[in-house]
Each structure stands twice: as C-alpha cells, then as structure tokens.
Structure 1
C-alpha cells in the first residue's frame, strides 16, 4: 500500500464513519461493506500491509486507550466473568474451531486448524460497546464487555504464536505451551506495570500538558515493543501500562487529563475506521487468492466450510455464557444459604450495609450475577475485528524448511468470512435483540441521579472542611469583612471575587483562586476515597471527576489569566 492509497483509505473511512453516525448506522459494518464494494472499482489494486504494522501500530493505541479510560476497580469487580470470557472462552473456541476445521477443510492439518481457531477466537468489543452505549445497556454488562476485550486479545495472540511456532517448526525458548503462556502473561504484565510507573514519575516531573500527552502517546508502543523483545505478551503489557497510568491520572494536572481525553478519542475513531475499511478492501483479494490456489470448485468448498466455521463460532459463545449462567445460579443459591447460616458473614454484610445506609446508599445485594437477559446480550456480542484481521495477515508464508505454509489461503479466507459474517449477523441483529429484551432499567435514571446526588454530597462535605479551615485561619491579604461571605461565594463559583480583584487587591484575588483550587483538590480526593471504599458508583465518580477538571480549567481561565 503506497502513501497515496493509505491516505485515501483513511480519509474515506473517516467520511463514511461520519455519514454512518449521522444516519444512526453502525460505522464498523458500513465501512466494511463500503470497502468491499470499493475494491471492485476498475484499476483498484490489492492493499498489503505487513501484519506487524497492524499488531504493532494499530492495536497498541486502541488497547491503551480502552485501558486508560476503563476503571481498574470495575475490572476487579467483574474479574471472574472477564477472565472466563477473555481467557477460558478464547481457549475453548480456538480448540473447538481447530478440531472442526481440520475435519471440514482437507487443506488444514490439526495444527494449522488450531492456528485458524486462535485467529477467529477473540471478539472485538468496539461495535458491541458502541451499540450498548447508544441503547442503554446496564453498566455491568458494558464493563464486562470492555474488560473482556482487554484480555482476550492477549490470550488469542499468545495461542496464535504458540500454534504457528509448532507448525512452522521454529524453536521457542520454553518448550511447554502452558509455561510459555504463563511466562508471556506474567512478564507482559510486569513490563506494563514497570513502564507505566516510570511514565507516571516522568509525567509528574515534566508538569507540562503537551509534553505529558506526547509521552502518553509513546507509552503503548514502548510497552508493546519491549514486551515482544522479551518474547512476552505485548498486548498485556499495553493493557497493564494503561491501567497503571489511568489509576494515577489524578496526580496529573487537569489540563493533561482534558487534553488526553480529546486526543485518545480522536485516535480511536481514526484507527477503528481504518481497520474496518482495510478489512473490506482486502476481502475481494482474499477470495482471489483462494481461487488461484485451487480453482472455482475449491473456492466454493472453502467458503462453504467458512460458513460452517462461522456457525460454530456463533454457537460456542452462547453455550459458554449460559453454562456460566447456570453455574452462577447454583452458586448464588449456595451463597445465600451460607449467608443465612454463617453469622460472621452476615455480620460483615450488615456492617457494610449500615455504613452504606449512613451514606444514603441502598443495601448491597450479594452476590450479584448477570440476569438471563443480560446473558443473552453478552452471548450475542461476538463480532470479530482488528485482532482477527491482524493475525490472519500474520500467518507466515513458509515453514522453516522453505515450503509454503499449508492452507494459508484457506485460513485467511475463513478468517475474513468469520469477521465479516459476525459483523453482518450479530452486528445487524444486536440492536433489535437489546430492544426486544427491554434491558434498559426504568430505575436506572433514578439510580444515576441518586449516585450523582451522593457525589455532590461528598464533594460538599469536603469543600465545607476547606472553607471552615479558611475561615478559622484567613490569609492576611483577605479583608475581615470578606471572610464571612467567602464560603457561599466560592461554593457558587461567584464572579464577585474576580470583580473585586483589582490591581490594588491582586493578592486577595490570588488567595480566592488558591482557595477554589484547594476546594476542588479536596473534593477530588473525597470522591476517589468514597469510590475506593465501594460507597460510590465508579461511573458516577468518573463523571464528577471530569466535571471537576472542567471547573478547574474555568477557574484558571477566569482567575489565573487575569492575575
């Protein structure tokens, strides 16, 4: 792909994304179909990108952005379903698809079929999360889907590399697949944590929003490349680095957080649009490769097998999800019996609920699992995307002895068929499914308002403490007659202090600005503390913290610039 073609693809993908969003359509699906149609334009040549470009340039920023904006607390709360879907289901899908494909596709051995299974195993949550956000899926479902997307890519790519090494005949420094998987995951996470910690320290030292944002742009690529150099999971390194920096983002300045929010949002739109456009543009040439390898008869056989593999992929996820749902129902009943008979557990839950009641919160229901309706939605969110595309392109051309990689055209054709098929089948029907199940909780708005009010109350208590300390020990530059009314004026972000901050009383204006900043800092710490104690919903906390960033920016604009 030359530079002009690449630029045209990116511009076209962005334009199609804008049109699709304006008309309420799914951008990923529309871009893929438009790309497939555009590939038949006379004179259009095939676009070839090295798999390392997609894996090493496109994937890291997408994962890093998701991890940066995803609450680690939500990740831990939903760890069990996330790991079950992101690791357990990926392994099962790869093995089942591998065994089935080796049976229905004569060109594939069991080893090459497992390579195919690893390629089609990981779903891409981009489309599902976009649809769920628009239609108001419960936040717990959204958290599980987002968390799954952060884990399943690493599991699938690790399986892919192990399977490819076994087929190609290259030696890995750890012979045991299980130990290699554990090494890849452990070292990858370690690299991400260390690099994220180092980047956090450097950002605090820089104290410059543009430089901090540039450093943030470098982190995902550095984490990925460093982990890959150590033969570990670059994907998990990126996710761990994103979690680390996201968890410590409150130590950065408000300007850095606001700037990064916009930058990563733009990068996400750009990369996702490009990937789905590339998928559509490649599909025609994948078909041609299969036809050239085995003729028209082989073409129909391969795509017939591809439809069967697509059916298997569509079925495996619901079976896994509802097996987990049934297990959770049994576990729930056993836990409730234990709670009824175990005085210590009951006392602990009673203490937690008493504390929640003192804070104006509803008692916690424990344990909490997905309902059957939520399980139906989760079971149907298996659309494939960027990782499937990148891994399919990354199948080697030849084995260690120089012979062609067996079944490579068939693997790519089936992988592309599964990716496009899941977008068509699940992507088109998911909105209707969500609407028919009526998953939008009528009480959710009331719950959200309750959480927002609780956040306001926590912030108000924190600001009251700061104001009280200010009144007890006012700075010398503040006139005594102004001390009494300072709490009300500052709490309401009145402009009175600014109007009185003329050149003769600049010090007073500066003290007012400093007081407002102390109030916001105290509110931010109080909100985070309340969230960490599990007494404030994470989503409400994040929304309130974002508002505090904008308030701090407004203070700097009104007071800082003037003074």
Structure 2
C-alpha cells in the first residue's frame, strides 16, 4: 500500500464524520445522509472502488457496535419484554427468510430455491440504529424502544445462522433440514454459554485492577474476544457478544466513577465513528454490486428489486400484528403483565424495519463457487437485491419514520418522562436522607470535634441534591415562572467556573503554572460542570 492508497483510506472516516456532523447540525438522519453521500461519491471520476470485506465488517465493526448497545441496554427491561423480543428476533427473522426466499424463487425464474433462501436470510434482520435514534428523540414509549433495541441485538444471530444454513444447502454437501435445526440450536446455546463464561471473569478482573485506563481497555477488547472465541467453536459470535455486554453493562456500577466517565465518553466517540463509517461504506458499494449484472435487463432488475423490497416490508406487517394482538387475546396473564401500546405501537414496530450493514456484509460473504466447483447460482443478483433492499428501507422507511410517529401521535412521551422525574425525585430524596443520616453518624462517632463549617457544607450539598430533583418537575421554574434556587445556583456556578478557567489559562500563558497543573485543574472544573449540566 502506497501513500495514495493510505490517503484514500483516511478519506473514508474523515468524510463519514464530516457528513454525520453536518447531518446532526441540520437535524437530518445521519445514516440516511451517509448512504446518499456514499452513492454520490461513486459517481465522481477518479474515486477508487471500495469493496466491502465481509470478514472485516463481521470481525471489526459488528462486535463493538453490538457490545455497546448491549452494555447500555437494561437487562430488566429486556427480561420484561423477552416474549415480544423473541418473537421478532427469532420468529420474524425465520418467517422473513422463508417468505422472502420463496417469493423471490417464484418471481425470478433462474434463481434456485436454496439461493433464494440465502437472499431471504440476508435481508431478514433489521438494523435498528436509525429507528431507535429517531424513536428516542421523538419520545415514543420506552417499551417500544426496548423491543426495537432487543430485536436488533439478537436478530443478527438468528439471521447469520440461517444464512449459513441456507448457504450450506445451496453449495451442496449432504445438507438436511435436521442438520440445519441442529446447527441453529447449537450456535445459539453455545453462544449464550460463551458470553456467560466470559462475562464473570472479565468483571472480576476489572474490579481487581482499579485502573480506569486498563479497565476500559478490557471493555474494548471484550467484544472481540467474545466474538472470536464463539466463532472458533462454531457458536454464534453475535449472541456471545450481546450476552457478555448485557452481563458487564448490568454491573458497571461496581466500577469507579472515573472509570465510568472515561468509558462513557470513549464508547460514544467510538460508536459515532464506527456507525458513520459503516453507513458511508454501504453507499460506496454500488460499483461492486452492479458488476456481473449485464445479462439482466434493467426493467427486470427494477421489478425484482421493488418486489423484494415490498415483500420484505409486507412480511413484517403480516408477522407483527398477529404477534401483538393474538397472545393478548389468548392470555389473561399477558394482558395483566405487559403494557399495551395498541395498534399504533404495532404500526411503529412494523415500519421500523430498516436494513443495514450486516445484510450487506452477509451478501458479500456468499461463496463464489459451490462444492462442485460451479459458480454460486445468482450470486450477483442476490448482491444487487440486497443492496437495493437496504437502500430502499433506509430511504423510504427511514425518511418517513419520524412523520409516521408524529401522525400516529405516539411520540412526545410526556407522561413517561413525568413518571421518571417523580421516581427520580423520590429516589434522590431517599438517597439524600441516607447521606444526611450517615453524616450524623460520622460526626457523632468521631472522637475529635469536626469543623462545623465542613459539616454544614456537606449538609447543604445533600439538601441541594434532594431539592433539585423535585424542582426539575416544574421545568426549572417556580409557580410564577421565576427561577428556582437550584437553577440559580447552577447558572451562577457555571459563570464562576468559566471565570476560574480564564484565570488558570492566563496564568499558564504567562508561564506562572505548568501545563500539567492546568490539565489537572481543568479536569476538576470540567467534572463539576458536567455534573451541573446533567440538569
């Protein structure tokens, strides 16, 4: 690789971050804009082809993206919604594989059934990155967000396992349906086992080290270790990553405060860059996709692409509505235990089916030759139909998803946010009371009299934290719209912090303090401002 090639490689993440930054600034969907930007770049003369390496995507991009999502997910919310998540991440994926595959076989004369099922498995798993970001921003009920996130965490495992089974059937080699079921069950169960076996020792190690940089480095390496170990024993690497991420994320409170602050910032930056690069790469795949399609007419290709996209979307509706309504009709326990979002929630779940990079990576991973040495039947066509389905779902469903949520009136989430605020205020009140009681115990037990000004300052801080959660319920203003005391405190304290920073910077510029001193005090001031900005 020469310097020119290296420069082109650097251009990809730089361009991805730039497009994502502009999209965020304009309030546009970054994934959609990145895909469009990639498509436009392919038309520029002199731009080299960037062919997606499926192994690179599955080994480098997928593990940290899934691990981060699992780490930030709520195990308890997932457990409470395990039934609908399983119906979507397992049942819907398999149903989509069969329905799309059989329909494609009927529509396309020279596409064998086994190759058609490969296509069905490839387009089966939605990528909920775009859908969840929009849903959270518009405030749809938390249960729907949890279901979408849970589906996106586990459906890749189902789809990739089904993909491998379908490929084995297409290339030959004595494949049977019983073999496929056995492979699927083994991959799922063994993947869970790898994740559970890896999670506890990693958690134990992180707690013993107590070094923020090393602890977060272990967290960074964990998803790659889980994925590669699972794949080495022919288990599902995706499930292993998700399970280990859920386990470690549920126990992140055991880490030190500095570790959590560093880790939170690091993962936000890492995922922002990875997601931006991934969606840009999707758009850059057009030249590789259209190669080998010269013997098909563009009219036929357009018809097949539209049909596969429409079937993929329709299949999700066909599955989601019965899955949402029938169990509630049949079971009183489900009606009593699970929150109900009605037909509007079913529509949102049905339309949130945007496909992403996992589908494209799987398509590029299709073998070129079968076990008999012949060309894999319809490989170029499957690649093309995968690309058009991914692109159509991102553009059609992605662009209309926010409008749909607003039209259905299912967004805003004001009641849920108010309930959270009330619960937080109650918890803050109880925590502050416990802190004050502990302070009284310490002052009573200390043999030496404590400085009363120190005790009073600690007491005021606990009372401040107790009050600010209640005042947040009023939006930071009093009954007449006046600024409440805690809001005044935050506003004035921020101004004071900025004045302190200016003094420290000026003294550094005058060489009265060293840069190391400036870094230390700036970090302390920044941490305090972050705590204030949380409100």
Do they superpose with TM above 0.5?
yes
Is the aligned partner of 1:224 residue 2:227? yes
CA pair 13-367 structure 1, distance change in 2 beyond 3 A: closer
Q: How many residues align?
A: 468
- Name the structure 1 match of 2:487: none
CA pair 271-446 structure 1, distance change in 2 beyond 3 A: same
Q: CA contact under 8 A between 2:432 and 2:463: conserved in structure 1?
A: no
Distance apart, 1:172 and its partner CA: 8.2
Distance apart, 1:333 and its partner CA: 5.3
* 1:329-356: CA deviation from partner (whole Å, max 9, x where unpaired): 41465767xxxxxxxxxxxxxxxxxxxx
Quick one: distance in 2 between partners of 1:218 and 1:289?
Answer: 39
Is the aligned partner of 1:262 residue 2:233? no
- Name the structure 2 match of 1:502: none
- Name the structure 1 match of 2:162: 159
Quick one: distance in 2 between partners of 1:424 and 1:126?
Answer: 14
Quick one: distance in 2 between partners of 1:48 and 1:480?
Answer: 68
* 1:180-201: CA deviation from partner (whole Å, max 9, x where unpaired): 1111011111111111211111
Quick one: distance in 2 between partners of 1:325 and 1:174?
Answer: 29
Q: Choose from 427, 430, 438 the match for 1:466.
A: 438
Q: Choose from 384, 387, 391 the match for 2:358.
A: 387
Distance apart, 1:205 and its partner CA: 1.8
TM-score (norm 2): 0.82
Distance apart, 1:460 and its partner CA: 2.3
Q: Choose from 65, 68, 93 the match for 1:62.
A: 65
Quick one: distance in 2 between partners of 1:385 and 1:482?
Answer: 59
- Name the structure 2 match of 1:361: none
TM-score (norm 1): 0.78
1:369-408 mapped onto 2 (5 Å cutoff): 369-408=340-379
Is the aligned partner of 1:208 residue 2:208? no
- Name the structure 1 match of 2:498: none
- Name the structure 2 match of 1:71: 74
- Name the structure 1 match of 2:459: 488
SS of the equivalent of 1:33 reads helix
1:292-371 mapped onto 2 (5 Å cutoff): 294-295=295-296, 297=297, 299-331=298-330, 366-371=337-342
Q: CA contact under 8 A between 1:303 and 1:413: conserved in structure 2?
A: no
Structure 2 unaligned spans of 5+: 467-522, 529-535
Q: Choose from 380, 389, 394 the match for 1:409.
A: 380
Q: CA contact under 8 A between 2:215 and 2:259: conserved in structure 1?
A: yes
* 1:67-115: CA deviation from partner (whole Å, max 9, x where unpaired): 0111111110111111111110000000001101111112311111111
- Name the structure 1 match of 2:491: none
Quick one: distance in 2 between partners of 1:107 and 1:322?
Answer: 33
1:234-273 mapped onto 2 (5 Å cutoff): 234-273=237-276
- Name the structure 2 match of 1:109: 112
Range 81-90 or range 439-448, more displaced: 439-448
Quick one: distance in 2 between partners of 1:455 and 1:273?
Answer: 37
- Name the structure 2 match of 1:532: none
CA pair 320-458 structure 1, distance change in 2 beyond 3 A: farther
1:391-470 mapped onto 2 (5 Å cutoff): 391-439=362-410, 440-470=412-442
CA pair 332-453 structure 1, distance change in 2 beyond 3 A: farther
Distance apart, 1:444 and its partner CA: 3.0
Q: Choose from 32, 48, 52 the match for 1:49.
A: 52
Quick one: distance in 1 between partners of 2:338 and 2:35?
Answer: 41
CA pair 335-69 structure 1, distance change in 2 beyond 3 A: closer
Distance apart, 1:480 and its partner CA: 7.6
CA pair 171-265 structure 1, distance change in 2 beyond 3 A: farther
- Name the structure 1 match of 2:28: 25
Quick one: distance in 1 between partners of 2:409 and 2:272?
Answer: 29
* 1:248-271: CA deviation from partner (whole Å, max 9, x where unpaired): 111111111111111111111111
Structure 1 unaligned spans of 5+: 337-364, 495-518, 520-552, 559-563
Range 321-330 or range 108-117, more displaced: 321-330
Q: CA contact under 8 A between 1:332 and 1:367: conserved in structure 2?
A: no
Q: CA contact under 8 A between 1:119 and 1:156: conserved in structure 2?
A: yes
Q: CA contact under 8 A between 1:118 and 1:156: conserved in structure 2?
A: yes
SS of the equivalent of 2:292 reads helix
* 1:275-313: CA deviation from partner (whole Å, max 9, x where unpaired): 11111111243123322xx15x2x431331121010001
SS of the equivalent of 2:439 reads helix
